[in-house]
Structure 1
Amino acid sequence: MDLKSTLLVVGGSACCFKLLNTVIRFLPTPELARNKSWKWRNISTSLAHSSLTGAWAVVCFYIQPHMVEDLISSQSLLSHSLVAVSTGYFIHDFLDVALNQSFKRSREVLLHHSLVLSCFSLSVTSRLYVGYAVVSLLVEINSVFLHIRQLLLLSGRRNILGTYVALLVFRVCTLAWMTRWLAAHTERVPRYALTMGTVGLSLISIMNVVLFYRLLRADVLPIREKRMAREI
C-alpha cells in the first residue's frame, strides 16, 4: 500500500471501531454492568480488537514464517494492513478514553496508547519494523483474556487461571523476546528508532509489573485472607 492507502486504512479502522462501540450501546447489557455502560462498551470494543489482531498476527507468521528472520524490512500486504488496522483502533480508543474518563484514571492507558501509536505510526508510514510491530501484537492474545476477565467482573463473575497462563506466555515471554531482539540488533536500528523502542519497552514492562501486582491483589490476596480468617 502507498501512504494514501495506508492512511485510508488507518482512518477506516478508527471509524469501524467507533461504529462497533456505538452498536454495542444497543445490545443487551448484564444488569450489574448497566451503571458502567461506557466501560462495558469500551472493553467489549477492545476485546474485538484483541481477538482480531491477536489471531491476525498468528496468521501473518504462519503464512510468512521467514518474517521472524528480518523484523526490520520483511513485510507483506497482510502484515502491513494488520499494523494499520491496529493503529486505527488505538486512535479510536485513545479518543474514547480521553473524552470519557478523568485524566487521573486514564493516564496509564493514554501513556500506553501514545507509545504504541508512536511506534506503529513509524512502522506503517516508513514500512520498516512491520515484523517487529506484528510480534508486539501477539500480546493481544493475552489481552483477550484480560478483557474477558474485566467483562466477567462487571457482570458479577470471575475467571482466574486462563488470565495468568496467557499473561505469562503471550505478554511476559513476548516482551522479553522483543527486548532481547532489540538488544541484539542495536547496530542495525537507527538511534531514533532504538530510543523509541527502548523507552517504549521499558515503560510497558513497568506497566506489566503493575498489572501483574493488581491482578494478584484482586484475585489471590482475597482468597488468602479468607483462608487465614477461617483458620483463626
Structure 2
Amino acid sequence: MEDQVRGKEIWKHNITEPNYGCHVVAVSCFSFFLVSKLVVFLTPLVAQTEKSSWKWKNISVSFIHSVLSSIWAFLCFYERPDMAEDLITIFTPLSHSLAAFSVGYFLYDLIELLVHQRTRQSLELIGHHVVIISCFMVAVLTRHYVGYAVVALIVEINSIFLHFRQLLQICGTSKFNPWYRLNSLINLATFIVCRILLLCWMTRWIVINKDAVPLLFYTMGSVGLAVMVGMNIILFYRLLRSDFISVKDTADSSSKKVD
C-alpha cells in the first residue's frame, strides 16, 4: 500500500514539474541534421556515388549516435545504480535527457529514410524507428519507464560494431581483412549479449511487472519487444550467413582450387 501511494505521489510530482524533454528532442534532431552535413566532408573517394555517399552519411551519423548513447547509458546507471532496481519511477535529468536525445536521433533518421530511402528494404528500419519513437516518447513525456528506456539503449553497444562493419563494406574492405574479421567477431559477441540476452531480460521484466504497468503502455512495450525480437533474429541470421558461413565457403572453395 505504501509503495502504491509513493508511486502515485511520484507520478503526480513528475507530471506537474516542467518537462524539458520535447526541447531536447528538437535540439537533438537538429543537431544530428547538422552532423550529417559535416560527415559529408569525410566521405571516402570510393563512396562518391550518389547512393554510396548518402549511405556513408547515414551510417556515419548512426555510428556517432551509437557511441554517444551507449557511453551515456552507462553513465546514467553509474550516477544512479538504484535505477536498475526501479525502472519505472526512478530517473535523473541525465537519463531523461538520454531518452529524449535518442528520440531526436531516431526522428532525424526516420525523416532521412522517408525522404531518401523509400524502398522495400527500408520498411524494416522505418517500422523499427516508429516503434522506438512511440515507446521512448512515453518515457520522455511521463518521466516514467526512463530506466527501461536506458536499458534498451545498451543495445547501441552492439550497434557501434554493426555500423562500423557497414562503413568498412562501403570502403570496399575485404571480409578476409584482419580488422574486418576482428570487428565481425566482436560484433557477433556483442550481438548475443547486448541484443539477444538483453531483449530476453527486458521481456522477462515486462511480464513480471505486468500489474505495475498500465495496459496501454504494457501493450506498446510488448509490441515493441516483439518487433525488436523478430528484426534481431533476421539480422543475426544475415550476419552469420554473410560474415561467417559464406566466408567459410569461399575460403574452402579457394583452398580446393589451390589443391
TM-score after normalising by structure 2? 0.86
For the aligned residue pairs, the C-alpha RMSD in angstroms reads 1.3
Q: Distance in 2 between matches of 1:198 and 1:75?
A: 22
Confirm or deny: 8 A CA contact 2:43 2:57 kept in the other structure.
no
Aligned partner of 1:202 in structure 2 is 226
User: Is 2:117 the counterpart of 1:101?
Assistant: yes
Aligned positions of 1:51-90 closer than 5 A: 51-90=67-106
User: Is 2:69 the counterpart of 1:17?
Assistant: no
Aligned positions of 1:130-141 closer than 5 A: 130-141=146-157
Aligned partner of 2:246 in structure 1 is 222
Work out which of the residue numbers 124, 134, 142 in structure 2 matches 1:126. Answer: 142
Work out which of the residue numbers 35, 38, 41 in structure 1 matches 2:54. Answer: 38
Q: Secondary structure at the match of 2:144?
A: coil
Aligned positions of 1:157-176 closer than 5 A: 157=173, 158=180, 159-176=183-200
Q: Distance in 2 between matches of 1:47 and 1:112?
A: 17
Larger Rg: 2
How far did residue 220 of structure 1 move?
1.3
Aligned partner of 2:205 in structure 1 is 181
Q: Distance in 1 between matches of 2:63 and 2:152?
A: 16
Q: Structure 2: which 5+ residue stretches go unaligned?
A: 1-16, 174-179
**When the two structures are aligned, how many residues end up with a matched partner?**
230
How far did residue 31 of structure 1 move?
2.2
How far did residue 2 of structure 1 move?
2.2
Q: Cα deviation per residue 1:134-189 (whole Å; 9 max; x = unaligned)?
A: 00000011101101110011111233111101111111121111111111101111
Runs of 4+ with >6 A deviation? none
TM-score after normalising by structure 1? 0.95
Aligned partner of 1:152 in structure 2 is 168
Q: Secondary structure at the match of 1:137?
A: helix
1:45 counterpart letter in structure 2: V
Q: Distance in 1 between matches of 2:107 and 2:251?
A: 44
How far did residue 221 of structure 1 move?
2.1
Q: Structure 1: which 5+ residue stretches go unaligned?
A: none
Q: Distance in 1 between matches of 2:163 and 2:92?
A: 29
Q: Distance in 2 between matches of 1:65 and 1:93?
A: 31
Q: Secondary structure at the match of 1:194?
A: helix
Q: Distance in 1 between matches of 2:161 and 2:47?
A: 18
Q: Percent identity?
A: 43
